[in-house]
Amino acid sequence: MSQKAIAGPAGTPPKRRRRRRRPGIGRFVFLGAFLIFVLGPLYWMFITSIKPSDDYLAVPPVWFPSHPTLVHYIAALFAYRGLQGIANSLIVSISATALSAFVGTLMAYSFARFETGGKHLSFWVLSQRFLPPIAIVLPVFLIYRTVGLHDTRFGLVIAYTVFTLPVTVWMMFAYFKGVPRSMEDAALVDGCTRWEAFWRVAVPLAAPGIIAAAVFAFIACWTEFFFALVLTSRNAFTLPTVFRAFLGFQGAQYGEASALAVVSLAPSIALGVLAQRHLVRGLTLGAVRG
């Protein structure tokens, strides 16, 4: 390269050509291994769900089934009542998530703005998660059986709301602490009541936090097994409990289990993708400060 080509305009220092670093081969190896680690099981699960039963444990393994089938999906959803499990799970998870987000938002706002219960009540709420579920599930079972909530979706909604509330409250608490108080003050002076200031200003600003907390609550409800196992039987059973049926003394129904697992993943993935957009929005950051 000639000197003229790299010299800058008169009076300015010559520009340095930026050397582009070539990505090392190690990076590709690492990324490849990581992808296999993450996606491999998912691929295997999907392939198993459309394999004929003879191919499950074939040696060498069948990577691409020559005759894919949907028979396991039909069996899992209908014969094993997976569809009802999904319906129950959706109703219970959505209801509990909505309740948890609503009550949790109000509680967290109250803790963050008014220091309700002093310094300790908010931590006490979180401490409820320290209890191992096994410690409370039997008393809850007895109470539910007595009051007629056993094997009802409503009973499960209450249990899941209580179960998810502490984490929801703590996530929202941090968000509301981060919303500048002056905005609600401005709303109060502008003509809002306290409730309007909360609803029209604080909630929209904390929306990313509410969505994030709701996603966590939903995933916790959607995947919860232990309470569902003890508190439900033939009517209100949820998706995770259906998987029990695939494991028996005679062997395992790998195809049906994989088919139901594929179906059960869909809402979590959809939620994850939707929520990611909101989680990174950071609505208040950089928006209000000079």
Partner 1 sequence: MADVRIRGLHKRFGGFHAVRGIDLDIADGDFTVLVGPSGCGKSTLLRTIAGLEDISEGEIFIGDEIVNDMRPRDRDVAMVFQDYALYPHMTVEKNIGFGLRARKMARSEIDDRVNRASAMLGIAQLYGRFPRQLSGGQRQRVAIGRAIVREPRIFLFDEPLSNLDAQLRDEMRWEIKRLHREISTTMIYVTHDQIEAMTLADRIVLMREGRIEQVGTPAELFERPISRFVAGFLGSPKMSFLPGRVVGSEGVAAIAIDGAAFPLPLPTAHAARVSTAGARVLLGLRPEHIVRAQGASPGEGMIRLDARVELLQPTGSRTFATFRIGSASALAELQAHDVSNPGETIQLDANLNRASLFDAETELALLS
By CB under 8 A, name the binding residues for partner 1.
180, 182-183, 185-193, 196, 200-201, 204-205, 283-284, 286-290
CB of 289 to partner 1, least distance (A): 6
- Look at residue 251 and give its three-state secondary structure: strand
CB of 200 to partner 1, least distance (A): 8
Nearer to partner 1, 133 or 178 (CB): 178
Nearest Cα neighbor of 55 from 290, 242, 258 is 258
CB of 181 to partner 1, least distance (A): 9
Nearer to partner 1, 67 or 289 (CB): 289
Angle at CA of residue 285, ends 123 and 183, nearest 5°: 75
Nearer to partner 1, 27 or 120 (CB): 120
Nearer to partner 1, 90 or 192 (CB): 192
Nearer to partner 1, 35 or 186 (CB): 186
Nearer to partner 1, 175 or 227 (CB): 175
CB of 272 to partner 1, least distance (A): 24
Whether 279 and 212 have beta carbons less than 8 Å apart is answered as yes
Tokens for 152, please give them: 């009802």
- Look at residue 247 and give its three-state secondary structure: strand
- Find where tokens 């995770």 sit: 240
Beta bridge partners of 251: 248
Query: How many whole angstroms separate alpha carbon 61 and alpha carbon 229?
Result: 34
**CA–CA distances in Å: residue 221 to residues 138, 161, 196:** 19, 9, 31
CB of 195 to partner 1, least distance (A): 12
CB of 116 to partner 1, least distance (A): 16
Answer positive or negative: Cα dihedral of 92, 270, 53, 83: positive
CB of 278 to partner 1, least distance (A): 13
| Other C-beta atoms lying within 10 Å of the C-beta of residue 267 | 18
- Look at residue 137 and give its three-state secondary structure: helix
Nearer to partner 1, 81 or 200 (CB): 200
Query: How many whole angstroms separate alpha carbon 173 and alpha carbon 142?
Result: 33
Nearer to partner 1, 11 or 191 (CB): 191
CB of 120 to partner 1, least distance (A): 17
| Other C-beta atoms lying within 10 Å of the C-beta of residue 215 | 20
Burial class (CB in 10 A: 0-12, 13-18, 19+), 228: buried
